[in-house]
Amino acid sequence: MLSYLLEKEFKQIFRNTFLSKLLIVMPVMFIIIFPYVTNQEVRDVKVGVVDHDHSPLSRRLVEKVGASPYFRLSDVSATYPGALDAVAEGESDLVLAVPRGFEHDLVRGEVVEVLVAANSVNGTRGTLGAQYLSTILSDYSGELREAAGAVPGAVLPVFRTETGFRFNPTLDYKVFMVPGLLVMLLTVLCCAFTALNIVGEKEAGTIEQINVSPVPRALFILAKLLPNWIIGLLALVFGMLAAWLVHGVTPTGSLGTILLFAVLYVCVVSAAGMVVSNYSNTMQQAMFVMFFFLIIFMITCGLFTPIKSMPDWMQWCVSVNPLKYFVQALRLIYLKGSGFAELLPEFAWLCGFAVVFNVWAVWSYKKSL
C-alpha cells in the first residue's frame, strides 16, 4: 500500500513544472547568491579628514588611511564642524581629526590624541569602520617608533602583536555563513512543500478519497513525508556542491555526520510543515502560518545574531528552536571538524523534536471533515 501512495506523491510532484523549477532556483539563490548579499565585511568606508597640523607626518597618516582597501577619502575639511556637516549629508562615514602639534608631539615622544568620529546610524558599519581605522593608527604609531627609535632619555618599548584565528584563519564570512544558509535552504524547502501538501488536496477535493479509504493515518503521513525527505537531501547535496564549486567552502568534518544530522533535521521540519497543513483549511492560511513561524525561527536561530548576545529570557525561549541546533551542528562540522561525540547535545535535541513533530503530525490528521 505504501508503494502506491508513494507513486501517487511522486507523480504529483513531477507533474508540477513550477516545483521542478523551484528545486533548482532555491539552492542557487541560497548558496550562490545569498553569501554575497549577507557580506559581513565593511568596505568602501568614506572617511573625512580634518588636518590641523599640515605636517609631513600628518600627511603620511592620511595617505596611509587612503591606501587601505577598506577606506576611501571622501572629504577634506578645514574645520571639525564642517566635517560633521559632511557626515550629516551622507558624504562621510568617519571623521579623522589630526590635532595641531601632531608631528611636534610625536617627535618629542609625547602622547598624541587623534579623534575618530563615526556615523553610527548603521551601527555595524560605524563600529567596524572605527575599529579598522584605530588599527591603522596603531600600526602607524608602531612604524614611527621603529623608524625613529627611542627618544633620548626615555625608554619606549615597541610591542609587536601577532594574532591568529583558528578554524577560519582568513576570517572569510562565507565560511561562516554557508552552513547556516544550507540550514535555511532545507528549512524553507521541506517545510513549505509539506505545509502546502495536505491543504492542497483539501482545496482540490482529493483528500476525501483518502479519507474514505482504509489507509491508516500513519502510513498516509509517511507517504507524504518520504518524497519531501528525498527532495530535501538532494537539495542539500546540490547546495554543498555549489558551495564548493563557487565559494570553495568544504566541510572539515565527516560527510557522514552531516548526512546523519541532515536526515534527522529533514524529519523535523517536514513533520512541522505537515502539522501546519493539517490545521489549515486553505493554502493561503498555511502560507501565512508557515512564514510566521519561519521568520521567528530564522531570526532567533543564531544565523545572523549570536545567541549569547541575546537576553537571558530570550536565550531560554530560543532553546525550543530546532534551527538553532542544526545551525550549531553544521557550523561545528564545517569549521571545526567536530565529530558525533561532540555534537551529542544537538543530536539529542533534534531527536526530541523529530519525535514530537512526527507524532503530532499523525495525531492532528483527521480522516473526517
Task: Record the pTM.
Answer: 0.74
Residues in Cβ contact with 215 at an 8 Å cutoff, skipping those fewer than 6 apart: 1, 5
Looking from the CA of 58 toward its CB, the CA atoms found within 13 Å total 20
CATH of domain 45-148: 3.40.1710.10
Minimum mean pLDDT range among 15-29, 48-62, 259-273, 294-308: 15-29
Element spanning 23, H or E: helix 17-27
pLDDT band at 305 (very low <50, low <70, confident <90, very high): confident
For position 103, what pLDDT does the model report? 84
Measured CA to CA in angstroms, residue 14 lies from 1, 18, 42, 200, 222 at distances of: 20, 10, 44, 16, 19
Q: What is the pLDDT of residues 269-301, one digit of tens each?
A: 999 998 998 888 888 888 889 889 988 898 888
DSSP 150: P
- What is the pLDDT, as a whole number, of residue 154? 45
In which residue ranges of the chain is CATH 3.40.1710.10 found?
Answer: 45-148
Average pLDDT over residues 24-32: 77
